[in-house]
Amino acid sequence: MSADALENLLKISDAVALPGCSDGVQAAYAHADEDWRTQADRAVKHLAATGDAFNVDHLRQLGLPEPETSQQWGSVFAAARTRGIIYLAGFTLHRDRSGEMRPVRVWRGVPGGEAA
Kind and range of the H or E run holding 50: helix 34-50
Within a 10 A sphere around the Cβ of 30, how many other Cβ atoms? 19
Q: Which CATH class is domain 24-109?
A: mainly alpha
CA-to-CA distance for 107 and 51, rounded, in angstroms? Answer: 10
Q: Is the pLDDT of residue 31 over 90?
A: no
For residue 30, the model assigns a pLDDT of: 74
User: Cα Rg for the chain, rounded, in angstroms?
Assistant: 15
For residue 39, the model assigns a pLDDT of: 94
pLDDT tens, 80-100? 999 899 999 999 998 877 889
For residue 46, the model assigns a pLDDT of: 96
Mean pLDDT score across all residues of the chain: 81
